[in-house]
Amino acid sequence: MSDHHLHEETGGTTSPYAARIRAIEALLLEKGVLTEPEVQDNISYMEARSPANGARLVARAWVDPDFKELLLSDGKAAASELGMDPEHPAEFIVVENTPELHNLIVCTLCSCYPRAILGRPPDWYKSFAYRSRAVREPRAVMREFGFEPPEGVEVIVHDSTADARYMVLPMRPPGTENLSEDELAELVTRDSLVGVNVPRL
């Protein structure tokens, strides 16, 4: 078992489901349905994933046109090339923002998200408010995040209804010509990978 104090043990949770999932874990381990290393590996797998992966994919695409082409045609292959080991999504599809169009990602049915690349989605992405409103009033939603597409830009919403998981490739902000790839990656926020905002210098 983990050697730090679990939130539940120090009274840090009020959810009745905490004890139930611990019970389920204990029972599954006792019955040999799962093994402890397996559970730990799965915890570690998710902990190792974060929006920084998405930022690296974007920064590389900004500096390397061949990589960008790969990212847009075969997202999983591009992620693998950068060592991200994207086991799970059936498809990982990256959609490109252009001067003519801006993309926004949502999963109205259940909050699907490219977790194998970006880790856990933020709470707001999973909220009923986002899931309801993103498809119907994407511009109002983006405004709440402080972003208004320029005049004439079309907004395209992707509802991830099947097994493909989507991520946005934002446009490279102006004035960033002299930044290194690592510096570019730092500009890429998680919110810009979902499409509720854009990277800024």
Partner 1 sequence: MTFEPGDRVRVLPSEKPGHVRTPAYLKGKTGWVESLIGAFPNPEEIAYGLSGRPERPLYKVCFRQTDLWDDYAGPAEDRLYADIYEHWLEPERGST
Partner 2 sequence: MGGSPGGPIDKDQHEVEDWERLADAINSALGGRGLQTTDELRRSIESLEDYRNLSYYERWAAATEKLLIEKGVLSGDEIDERAAEIRRRWEGP
Footprint on this chain of partner 2 (rule: CB under 8 A): 2, 6-9, 11-13, 15, 17-28, 31, 33-34, 38-40, 42-43, 45-47, 88, 106, 108-111, 120, 122-124, 126-136, 141, 144-145, 159, 163
* Min separation Cβ 90 and partner 2, Å: 9
Task: Read off the tokens for 176.
Answer: 């960033």
Contact, 121 vs 195, CB < 8 A? no
| Binding partner of residue 162 among partner 1, partner 2, none, CB cut-off 5 to 8 Å per kind | partner 1
* Min separation Cβ 105 and partner 2, Å: 13
* Min separation Cβ 148 and partner 1, Å: 11
β 154-159/101-106 pair status? parallel
Distance CA 59, CA 57 (A): 6
Apex 193 CA angle, 177 and 85, nearest 5: 100
Apex 124 CA angle, 61 and 62, nearest 5: 10
| Binding partner of residue 155 among partner 2, partner 1, none, CB cut-off 5 to 8 Å per kind | partner 1
Q: Which amino acid is at 70?
A: L
Contact, 53 vs 117, CB < 8 A? yes
Decide if residue 161 touches partner 1 (CB under 8 A).
Answer: yes
Residues annotated as catalytic (active site), given as ranges: 107, 110-112
List residues binding partner 1 (CB under 8 A).
90-91, 108-109, 135-140, 154-164
